[in-house]
Amino acid sequence: MYIVTGGAGFIGSALLWKLNSRGVGDILVVDNLGCSEKWKNLVRRDFSEYLRRDAFMDLLEKDDLEKITGPGLSAVIHLGACSSTTEKDADFLMLNNLAYSKKLCLYALRKGARFINASSAATYGDGSCGFDDDPEGLCRLRPLNMYGYSKHLFDRWAWKEGLLARMVSLKFFNVYGPGEEHKGEMRSMAHKAFHQIKASGSIRLFRSDSPDYEDGGQKRDFIYVKDCVEIIWELTQRPELNGIFNVGTGEARSWNDLARAVFKALRLPEKMEYIDMPATLAGKYQNFTQAETGRLRAAGLMRGLHSLEEGVADYVGNYLSRAEPYL
């Protein structure tokens, strides 16, 4: 039995796709579907049980989860969290992204199950302290938003408690791909660009507020969701690999590069428009992110990653351009 929290979400539903492709269907999916369209991410997936997060947490608190999972729990992949970088309710984030994660981590380790946690590149803040995933440097990081801080606090707790030798925490960089329809403003720019271009023939990007970057020249480490779930799968099969790992390509590319890749995939002429950055992002905007991938590469987990152009071409051609853009 596998437990996947956030299993109806973006990376979670892609992970279900990967697990199913490996013949795994004995899965407990934990999520909050509410009135969102996330349920569509589950339609093509095979899983044995679904629980709302509050019902799941109630069973966890009572140590009654084995009523659902049975005694053979293989892995807990904890992808469920509030991932909004603009969320203002700090208490909610501390409860949902930190306290909940701690309890689930301790439960999984107590049951002898593999525990894999979703952290975030948002923990690196403005990048002035670099993007090294060595946990020795955690104390130097200064996240720019409460979401990143909540993820950072979990990583620091796991490090201080000596748990990183027994589990994995993955710092995802800019993930894009099928299954993000429900994410609203938190959708990737690849998704937004596709729909902007289809509607108007152009794409809107932020003007630069730094002399070091041209308009649209701010850079991110974009990684395709299919590559992310391949890495997670490999980690479920290799319990000797533990600690914090950056999940990125190790190559920063600009928003302009991303836009060009979408135009190319659509076989349309390039037309970029540049708009002022919203006041809510002033002083909190990352102009550059690039994963240090030495640990991931040394573990043999970077084989066959999609380039930005390859990933965007697959996403646009095989998913976004179709009526049902799901894996």
Quick check: is 183 catalytic?
yes
pLDDT at 74: 97
d(CA 303, CA 68) in angstroms, rounded, equals 36
pLDDT at 279: 84
d(CA 64, CA 41) in angstroms, rounded, equals 28
- HEC-encoded secondary structure of 58-111: HHHHCCCCHHHHCCCCCEEEECCCCCCCCCCCHHHHHHHHHHHHHHHHHHHHHC
* CATH no. of 181-219+252-286+315-320: 3.90.25
Q: Who's near 139: CB < 8 A, 6+ residues apart?
A: 156
Q: Are 175 and 252 in contact (CB under 8 A)?
A: no
Quick check: is 284 catalytic?
no
Q: Who's near 233: CB < 8 A, 6+ residues apart?
A: 15, 18, 19, 22
Q: Are 237 and 301 in contact (CB under 8 A)?
A: no
pLDDT tens over the chain, length 327 residues? 999 999 999 999 999 999 999 999 999 999 999 999 999 999 999 999 999 999 999 999 999 999 999 989 999 999 998 877 778 899 989 988 999 999 999 999 999 999 999 999 999 998 999 999 999 999 999 998 999 999 999 999 999 999 999 999 999 999 999 999 999 999 999 999 999 999 999 999 999 988 999 999 999 999 999 999 999 999 999 999 999 999 999 999 999 999 999 999 999 999 999 999 888 777 678 889 999 999 999 999 999 999 999 999 999 999 999 998 999
**Among 175, 170, 137, which Cα is nearest to 296's?**
170
d(CA 295, CA 244) in angstroms, rounded, equals 9
Residue in the structure block whose two tokens are 């130097």: 140
Catalytic annotation, pick one of 147, 149, 176, 319: 147
Tokens of 172: 């995802």
- Residue range(s) in the chain whose domain bears CATH number 3.40.50.720: 2-176+222-250+287-305
- Residue range(s) in the chain whose domain bears CATH number 3.90.25: 181-219+252-286+315-320
Catalytic annotation, pick one of 40, 102, 111, 183: 183
pLDDT at 96: 87
Q: Who's near 252: CB < 8 A, 6+ residues apart?
A: 219, 220, 221, 288, 289, 290
The CATH topology of domain 2-176+222-250+287-305 is Rossmann fold (3.40.50)
